[in-house]
């Protein structure tokens, strides 16, 4: 199911949405429980895998489709907005100047390598964009933010998530070892992990495996890197709008295609920064945002076609490896270049 079909002209009634939402929520609760037992894998990945298994071995009937489509798009957008409450712009300003040069280079390298390798490996554009964005910024959260804009097929979103997860696991195991072999300082390793590992949980795991100081710094660098979701989503929205205009879309509207949920993400971050939310409420909002992501990705798994994913072969994984390696190497290269100046 393509997420482009998620927002029909006539909005489904709550009764039509209920079966699909209930199914996705039930599996998401199960995935969240498993996620606490296997934090290295994480509930979002477990949710999408469970959804895929149910979809392909016990397919839900058509009455579940409206709720699953709603969760794949609307709940996904809500989860991104909720993530904003966990991001203080003060932290971004404090650390951003120190890590900005490395972050911008790795971002550019990620997109350039995704485009070049995607063309060479013949991986189609939307899947290459998802893998590039997930590698460049913040893994599953970035994929979640971009999905409503470029509207890929659900099996592409699932494949991109699986690819990002694979290299997150490799990074958690490999980065601390390489960091010690390269004699990186705590801050040097923190900067490397924060700019070159995709998902926040994997950054935290790798950082604190190296040292406590490295873990603290890597986490803040990673939060700063996450703010690049905003300009990347805006650029992608403009690119989608331009393509629609060139294609002669009669109902083309920049206002309609603009990712308003990203604007609300910024508002949520601003509210957090101004201290307008009681500190006791912040863990609740964080937990809510994580569960909404698990719910949305579970719904995507329930709508994805595993056979079409398998038919893609190893090329998307090779693309993911190439982009991940390019980002990791460029992050270290910039650090060494800056140290030599």
Residue 2 has pLDDT above 50, yes or no: no
Q: What is the pTM of this model?
A: 0.67
Beta bridge partners of 153: 2
The token pair at 204 is: 């935290």
| Straight-line distance from the first to the last Cα atom of the chain, in angstroms, rounded to the nearest whole number | 52
**227, 44 contact by CB (below 8 A):** no
Q: Which helix (H) or strand (E) holds 118?
A: helix 89-121
Per-residue pLDDT band at 95 (split at 50, 70, 90): low
- Average pLDDT over all residues of the chain: 81
d(CA 159, CA 32): 20
Contacts of 65 (CB under 8 A, 6+ apart): 1, 20, 303
d(CA 299, CA 265): 22
Name the more confident of 123 and 12.
123
Backbone angles phi and psi of 128, in degrees to 5: -65, -40
What is the model's pLDDT at position 330? 92
Contacts of 176 (CB under 8 A, 6+ apart): 189, 206, 209, 210
Residue 223 has pLDDT above 80, yes or no: no
Residues in the chain: 341
């Amino acid at each position: 199911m393509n997420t482009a079909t998620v927002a029909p002209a006539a909005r489904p009634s709550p009764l039509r949405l209920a079966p699909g939402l209930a199914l996705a929520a039930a599996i998401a609760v199960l995935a969240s429980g498993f996620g606490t037992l296997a934090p290295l894998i994480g509930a979002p990945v477990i949710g999408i895998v469970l959804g895929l298994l149910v979809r392909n071995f016990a397919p839900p009937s058509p009455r579940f489709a409206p709720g699953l489509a709603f969760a794949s798009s609307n709940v996904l957008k809500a989860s991104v907005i909720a993530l904003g409450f966990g991001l203080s712009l003060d932290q971004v300003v404090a650390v951003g100047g120190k890590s900005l040069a490395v972050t911008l280079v790795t971002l550019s390298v990620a997109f350039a390598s995704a485009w070049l390798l995607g063309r060479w490996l013949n991986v189609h554009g939307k899947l290459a964009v998802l893998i590039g964005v997930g590698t460049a910024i913040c893994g599953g959260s970035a994929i979640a933010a971009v999905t409503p804009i470029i509207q890929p097929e659900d099996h592409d979103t699932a494949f991109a998530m699986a690819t990002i997860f694979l290299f997150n696991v490799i990074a958690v195991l490999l980065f601390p070892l390489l960091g010690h072999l390269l004699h990186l300082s705590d801050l040097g390793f923190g900067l490397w992990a924060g700019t070159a590992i995709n998902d926040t949980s994997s950054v935290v795991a790798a950082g604190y495996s190296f040292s406590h100081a490295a873990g603290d710094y890597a986490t803040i660098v990673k939060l700063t890197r996450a703010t690049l979701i905003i300009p990347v989503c805006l650029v992608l929205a403009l690119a989608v709008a331009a393509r629609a205009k060139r294609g002669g879309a009669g109902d083309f509207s920049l206002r309609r295609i603009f990712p308003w949920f990203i604007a609300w993400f910024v508002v949520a971050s601003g509210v957090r920064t101004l201290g307008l939310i009681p500190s006791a409420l912040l863990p609740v909002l964080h937990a809510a945002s994580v569960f909404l992501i698990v719910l949305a990705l579970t719904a995507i798994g329930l709508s994805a076609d595993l056979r079409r994913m398998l038919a893609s072969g190893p090329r998307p994984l090779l693309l993911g490896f190439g982009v991940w390696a390019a980002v990791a190497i460029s992050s270290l290269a910039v650090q060494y270049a800056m140290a030599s100046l």
